[in-house]
Amino acid sequence: MTVLVTGGAGYIGGHMVLALLDAGEKAVVLDDLSTGFRSAVRPPAKLIVGDFGDMALVETILREHEIDAIAHFAAKIVVPESVADPLRYYLNNTAKSRNLLECAVRHKIKHFIFSSTAAVYGEPEVNPVSETAALAPINPYGRSKLMTEWMLQDASHAHGLDYVILRYFNVAGADPKGRLGQSTPQATHLIKIAVQAALGFRPGLDVFGADYPTRDGTCIRDYIQVTDLVAAHLMALDYLRKGGESLICNCGYGTGFSVFEVIDVVKQVSGVDFNVRISGRRAGDPASLVAGAERIKSVLGWAPKYDDLPAIAGQALDWERHLHNKSKAESVLVRNSAAR
């Protein structure tokens, strides 16, 4: 059987495709390439360029490729952008996911893995936050994801669509084998921005708020390495195929680092003391989000292998150098071709 991976040409979805192929699974990727890259989809995975909300296209894929499971990564993910343009987020993350779910139900897909977010918790009263904590998202991104969680749960009750919802904390790093990393030029991930500043690709880094009620005034987040994260997805798929009941799990390490602490780690790993500017708070940013990860360990048997922030920063640094060198080589080829 085959796994349909929506958003499989992107950062996390692309790592999922690599993990599926490494495990001997078949994968079909559906991605509109708005933020993804063709090069992220390695053979023999098949890339279909299109919109995951296009029901006719999705139904054709489900019918023609013997899909038995869907791993749904495709989404808009930038919190400040969601505050500025909420309807775009409700269209992409919620309305289109509803279409995808209808297709899954029509074609009797039994297993659905959903890429959700810790943003569904909003400002938790206690950190680390457990899956049973109150759900009170404070931005449209988190609300758009929570709505999809609700739709998936309701579809499961009505139609027998088994699911695992994985609530991500902050994803970082790159494939340890150097095959893939965060490639979006304007990505808003803190570690990516910091390594770009360290390499001189940015004039510096802005810290959005240093007056939060945290140990140093900056936001605290739980940074999970991307390969560890996709390993949880493979375990979730195996769990469902073996008859496991629908499940919601946090994906994080249970350790929080402040923005200043992350910056210091990147400076140490890179050996560069880049410029840091303090700016005002961004709308929709909670002060602290740290994962309670007991459930994913006890139920899925997940055990992280890459829980090391300096190593994660080093992976991101190496990948950013790779992207820069690749871009330079491609520019030389273009100039040489034009000169002929």
Residues designated catalytic = 141
- The number of beta carbons lying within 10 Å of the beta carbon of residue 268 is 12
Integer Cα distance of 324 and 202 in angstroms: 13
Q: Identify whether the C-beta of residue 120 lies closer than 8 Å to the C-beta of residue 286.
A: no
Contacts of 26 (CB under 8 A, 6+ apart): 1, 2, 3, 20, 44, 45
Integer Cα distance of 236 and 244 in angstroms: 9
Which residue matches tokens 């991500």?
168
Integer Cα distance of 309 and 223 in angstroms: 8
How would you class 265 by CB atoms within 10 Å of its CB: exposed for 0-12, middle for 13-18, buried for 19 or more? Answer: buried
Which residue matches tokens 């909420």?
86
Q: Identify whether the C-beta of residue 162 lies closer than 8 Å to the C-beta of residue 110.
A: yes
Integer Cα distance of 268 and 313 in angstroms: 10
Q: Identify whether the C-beta of residue 67 lies closer than 8 Å to the C-beta of residue 1.
A: yes
Cα–Cα separations (whole angstroms), residue 281 to 157, 197, 208, 333: 41, 20, 5, 43
Integer Cα distance of 11 and 35 in angstroms: 9
**Cα 159 from chain centre:** 27
Best CA proximity match to 116, nearest among 143, 84, 81, 83: 143
Best CA proximity match to 152, nearest among 139, 136, 163: 163
Beta-ladder partners of 48: 30
The two structure tokens encoding residue 324: 């820069």
